[in-house]
Amino acid sequence: MGDLDFLSFIVDAIEDTSSLNAIKYQYFHQLLYKRTVIFNNEVEESIIESVYLPLKEFEEDDSDEPITLILNSMGGSVSDGFFFANYLTHFKKKLNIIVCGYAASMAAVILAAGGKNPNITRYCYPSTYGLIHDGYVALSASEAKTANDI
């Protein structure tokens, strides 16, 4: 399967499992041909299909053209976010990360990932904002058991 065939397969798989309409589908499909991936959802397991797989394919192809990741997310899952952040830390090709609106919570961690990686360049618009906050843990049990565990 050629590089573009594989990317087309990914777009088809994403389209089959989401509510993308035909216009959005065509738009996202064309962006892949321009080596551009959009990450505009919650940080969750689905980023493996919609963001990680296309980036991995671009990273392994023969092109020297830079790759663009457009990031606009309010954050989400810590474990899925760290998976993606760790991947970016060792990204082997030129990657431009552009934040158009916001990179909040786990998305801000993803934006900061690979800070020492010379292949990654970050761009933000003047009105872009980021948010990093304290973490939290949710416990569910009786009050006495929770107090004892802590």
**Predicted confidence (pLDDT) per residue in 9-67, tens digit:** 555 554 454 555 667 767 777 888 899 999 999 999 988 778 999 999 999 999 999 99
Cα-based distances in Å from 35 to 28, 51, 75, 78 = 11, 12, 23, 27
Domains in the chain: boundaries: 3-149
Residue 90 is among the residues annotated as catalytic for this protein: no
Q: Who wins on pLDDT, 27 or 73?
A: 73
> 81-90, pLDDT tens digit by residue?
999 999 999 9
Three-state SS annotation for 15-29 = HHCCCCCHHHHHHHH
Annotated catalytic residue within 19, 127, 133, 142: 133
pLDDT of residue 129: 93
pLDDT of residue 135: 77
Render 27-94 in DSSP notation, one character per residue: HHHHHHHTTEEEE-S-BSTTHIIIIIHHHHHHHHSS--S-EEEEEEE--B-HHHHHHHHHHHHT--S-
Residue 133 is among the residues annotated as catalytic for this protein: yes
The CATH class of the 3-149 domain is: alpha beta
